[in-house]
Structure 1
């Protein structure tokens, strides 16, 4: 696997813990914290189920990215999804996000950089949002392992503004690569 280049399709953020997030002209990534004005901003975990277990654990879910190709795949199954509907902060085109190894660095636009920490866990909120949508969000690979298609999570290494049209360069870590798992 070699470095890859994609592009930002849309950006979204929301201060409250709602499932979907409105599309914005731009979002600002803040080093070590996440997306300015988003409910998941912070050094410690903000996802409500994880806070209930241990509110002091590090926030490995500062930024959520999904590929527009996933939305297109779901449209082919009859699910009409738009940018921000699944709660992602950055919707990208042209990158196979799910197959990126842990530790991949995503350079976005002029200055922003995210380190990929893991996969988003598909949850019942997806089913509540669109009945029947959860099942196709979990596939199987050639070895029969579950493939979680609901995007990837990362932490902000370098801050900066991100907007639609920005390039996204995926810089892979040294081998051996470690497959993404739920975070």
Structure 2
């Protein structure tokens, strides 16, 4: 499985969206340099409120740009960085990857997939009705989350739009993604 990085985003303050950048630097074991969610322990406000000593399994948030195409067809305008992701990709089905997949971003960076982003009500504050578009149920009634995946930085370095993305699957048996 392979694709391309189409945008990179970061923000040093808590806000829902993240501005696009020419490049971001990922720091091993920490996340995106200068991003409010970087760190060894959890930085997301809801997680900090539960237990601030939890390991940060949400260092880097990735979304596949194909989601924006789907949302546009449903009448929503969403661009890279709007949903708070750090890396936007195209051509690789991020949601189908198993836990432990190593994503090679560019020629040096490696992130390890930890799970699915669990979208919150802030999405509806961004655009009313958007939450129902990124969280739904399948035919069997199981919850389907489409707002991207979370990862930790295994090997740091610089990531830029246009960089290749290549998935390295973990050994079998594969564990499906769950919310983190």
User: TM range, normalised to the smaller chain?
Assistant: over 0.9
What does residue range 4-19 of structure 1 map to in structure 2 within 5 Å? 4-19=1-16
SS of the residue corresponding to residue 69 of structure 2 reads helix
What does residue range 17-96 of structure 1 map to in structure 2 within 5 Å? 17-96=14-93
Q: After TM superposition, where is structure 1 displaced by more than 6 Å over at least 4 residues in a row?
A: none
Cα distance per residue 1:11-37 (max 9 Å; x no partner): 000001100000000000000000001
Distance 2:166 2:39 in 1: 24
Say yes or no: does 1:166 pair with 2:163.
yes
Give structure 2 stretches of 5+ with no counterpart: none
Match of 1:113 among 110, 114, 128: 110
TM-score where L is the length of structure 1: 0.96
Q: CA RMSD in A?
A: 0.8
* 1:143 positional shift: 3.4
Distance 1:100 1:140 in 2: 19
Cα distance per residue 1:77-130 (max 9 Å; x no partner): 010111100000000001111111000000010100000000000100001100
Cα distance per residue 1:125-167 (max 9 Å; x no partner): 0011000100011133353311100000000000010000000
